[in-house]
Chain A
């Protein structure tokens, strides 16, 4: 069965330092993977997605993620954190359920950014 595991429930960084949010996936076939972000009191927003094209995927707000098949990982990174990056981040794998899209969400990583 397809699933994702987010290795950290909370990550704390200082403004201006790099961000690393870790995600490992389990899939019996080549997966489609996403990162979504949820800011306080707002709906989820797509950051980026991987669908078997380039393994390094660039998203919005300076985030990027690298698909590594050998490590079954899809970690999210950003070179320099901004205060506005404080939010909850979800790693997601897409399943094709009899031809219909179904998303399986990780448990989330809350990113805290301190001045």
Chain B
């Protein structure tokens, strides 16, 4: 069974803190993605990575950075958390085999609250 796991289901942080969200996939996928999900806005892409140490900005990268040191792990970093980063964060992965329109597999999400 395919698996994408995220380090925390719920997280509460204070404004200005550095926050790390971790994502691990066990499917040997090349591509990994970070989204945030807000009511009425759907999912918006923050960053993605198509290979180890490679990263690309998504639609809303401001205030975030990422790290991919190993193929199975993709970290999202909030350098200085702000209240407008309170959201649900979803990680996903997909294979590059067979073309670019493969299914993305999602983790259960991390609900982050910044006070």
A residues apposed to B, CB below 8 Å: 9, 32, 34, 41-46, 49, 51, 90, 94, 96-97, 99-103, 105-108
Not counting A94-B101, A96-B100, A108-B40, a sample of 7 additional A-B residue pairs whose C-beta atoms are within 8 angstroms of each other reads A41-B108, A43-B105, A44-B90, A44-B104, A44-B106, A97-B56, A102-B48
Nearest CB of chain B from residue A108's CB, rounded to whole Å: 5
Q: How far is A107 from B41 in the complex, measured between Cα atoms in Å?
A: 5
Report whether over half of chain A's contact residues are helix, strand or loop; otherwise say mixed: strand
Q: Report if B4 contacts A (CB, 8 A).
A: yes
Q: How far is A46 from B56 in the complex, measured between Cα atoms in Å?
A: 24
Which B residues touch A105, using CB under 8 A?
Answer: 35, 42-44
Which A residues touch B4, using CB under 8 A?
Answer: 43
Q: Which of B40, B45, B105, B109 contacts A102 (CB 8 A)?
A: B45
Whether the pair B100, A99 counts as a contact (CB closer than 8 A) is: yes
Given A32-B101, A41-B108, A44-B90, are A102 and B42 neighbors across the interface (CB < 8 Å)?
no
Q: Tally chain B residues at the interface, Cβ within 8 Å.
A: 27
Q: What 3 A-B pairs come out closest when comparing CB atoms?
A: A43-B106, A105-B42, A105-B43
Nearest CB of chain A from residue B5's CB, rounded to whole Å: 10
Q: How far is A94 from B56 in the complex, measured between Cα atoms in Å?
A: 16
Provide a sorted-by-A list of 21 A–B residue pairs whose CB atoms are within 8 angstroms: A43-B90, A43-B105, A43-B108, A44-B43, A44-B92, A45-B106, A46-B103, A46-B104, A90-B42, A96-B100, A97-B56, A99-B100, A101-B100, A101-B101, A101-B102, A102-B45, A102-B48, A105-B43, A105-B44, A107-B41, A108-B42
Interface string of B26-43 (1 = CB under 8 A from A): 000001010100001111
Whether the pair A43, B107 counts as a contact (CB closer than 8 A) is: yes
Nearest CB of chain A from residue B91's CB, rounded to whole Å: 9
Q: Report if B50 contacts A (CB, 8 A).
A: yes
Q: Report if B75 contacts A (CB, 8 A).
A: no
Q: How far is A61 from B41 in the complex, measured between Cα atoms in Å?
A: 26
Query: Quick one: closest A residue to B109, CB to CB?
Result: A43
Which B residues touch A97, using CB under 8 A?
Answer: 56
Most buried by A among B44, B92, B104, B105: B104
